[in-house]
Amino acid sequence: RTLEPAIGLVDFRTDPVKNPLSTPSGKIEIYSEQLAEIAATWELEEGDVINPIPVFTPGFQGYGSVTDEYPLYCTGFHHKSRTHSSFGFIPELEQVARQQLWINPADAESRGIASGDTVAVKSPAGEIRIEALVTPRIIPGTIGIPQGAWHKADMNGDRVDEGACVNTLTTYRPTPLAKGNGPAHSIIAQITKA
């Protein structure tokens, strides 16, 4: 089937005065007066910025924040056997879609890690144990951990999460504008063979 060409915002393009957009100015806004006002009046955490124009902002523990102690970027991703943490307790699903950390062969080799090894992942916020999956499907310098695993740690003891819950590694720090937990997918970490 062939799709007919479509013009986005055709009414606005044809007559912008008669068909204004739902923005404060009624026009396409590159500079947002609302965001400029928020940036000027809100009390923000140190290092937080709200920009009235689109700019790249790495965010807390984002691009450029790795250290010698935590040289890897870690991100959480949706797991194929769970909806967030729902269904995380079903052993049959865990058998067919195990909770595994993805690591690039270059990062795994330098750490002596092979697929199937149990690894320790540490961040400034916590530590987990998880099975490694060595794969070129993740870029070097980055590890990925499926989100939604259930936390299993002795919180009165060593606090190490044997359930491999990526949130154990996450520092809570709300984003400046939406107040969501930005670091949930922006974690600095180190991985070693457990």
Q: Are 136 and 145 in contact (CB under 8 A)?
A: no
Return phi, psi of residue 33, to 5°: -65, -35
All structural domains of the chain, each given as residue ranges with its CATH number in brackets, are: 72-193 (2.40.40.20)
- pLDDT tens, residue by residue, 90-137: 888 888 889 999 999 999 999 999 999 999 999 999 999 999 999 999
What does the alpha-carbon distance between residue 170 and residue 100 come to, in Å, rounded to a whole number?
17
- pLDDT tens, residue by residue, 43-99: 998 888 999 999 988 888 888 999 999 999 999 998 888 888 888 788 888 888 899
Q: What angle do CA 181, 119, 186 make, to 5 degrees?
A: 20
Q: What angle do CA 59, 190, 116 make, to 5 degrees?
A: 125
143 pLDDT band, cuts 50/70/90, is very high
With 70 as the cut, is the pLDDT of residue 184 above it?
Answer: no
What does the alpha-carbon distance between residue 113 and residue 193 come to, in Å, rounded to a whole number?
6
- pTM assigned to the model: 0.81
